[in-house]
Structure 1
Amino acid sequence: MGWRKNAGYIITNQITIGESEIVLGVHESHPNMFVTWECNNKTDYYWGHYHTSLLAAQKDFCERGADKARFYEKAEHKPKEKELER
């Protein structure tokens, strides 16, 4: 598996949750610049959160992953239309 890059950032961590992915990257020429993105299809990166601390980026990565998991969990437990008719 080769390295993934986006906008000069090397993706170092990723977690797939539902149909999307949360990634963390470090800038290839500025090692004190970090980003987390949401990503689709391993190529469509959006909603970047930029950081100058690895710890802050890792915390954001974990929080974004947990938020996305809660989103999918909530969607799973949403009553179906037939259940609402009862």
Structure 2
Amino acid sequence: MEKEINAGYTITDRLSVGNAEFVIGQSESAPAKFVTWKVKKGEKDYYWGHYCNDRLTALEDLCNRALDEVHHLKSLRQEQNVGENPARQNGKKKSVPER
């Protein structure tokens, strides 16, 4: 696989969530050695860089950004389900303890 480089940073890690990817870039010569970016799947347009001085912080940021996207996608799915089936939501049986 060919090395992927953006703005002088070599892409070392990647997480895909939906149509988004989150990547870590590393550069030995940059003031901030690590960066995380968001990028649309299949494109090379990196944006919203978060710059870090150490790999552990970059990994944490990568995971947090991906998890935020997961939560966003789940909330969109829940909104769609409520909009498509409002009667179903109201018709759910509630669990009542036996007496």
Q: Is TM > 0.5 for Structure 1 vs Structure 2?
A: yes
Larger C-alpha radius of gyration, 1 or 2? 2
Equivalent residue runs for 1:7-86 within 5 Å: 7-27=7-27, 29-30=29-30, 33-40=33-40, 41-78=42-79, 79-80=82-83, 83=86
Unaligned regions of 5+ residues in structure 2, if any? 91-99
RMSD (CA atoms): 2.1
| Deviation readout 1:23-43 (Å, 9 max, x if unpaired) | 11101545x600000001330
Unaligned regions of 5+ residues in structure 1, if any? none
Percent of aligned pairs with the same residue? 37
Residues 1:5 and 2:5 aligned together? yes
Report the CA distance between 1:3 and its aligned residue.
Answer: 1.4
| Deviation readout 1:30-84 (Å, 9 max, x if unpaired) | 5x60000000133010000000111111110110011011111111111226638
Equivalent position SS for 1:65: helix
Aligned length: 85
CA distance in 1 between partners of 2:62 and 2:85 (Å) = 37
CA distance in 2 between partners of 1:26 and 1:39 (Å) = 16
Name the aligned partner's letter for residue 22 of structure 2.
I
Where does structure 1 differ by over 6 angstroms across 4 or more consecutive aligned residues?
none
Conserved? CA contact 1:34–1:52, under 8 Å? yes
Name the aligned partner's letter for residue 45 of structure 1.
Y
Structure having the higher strand fraction is 1
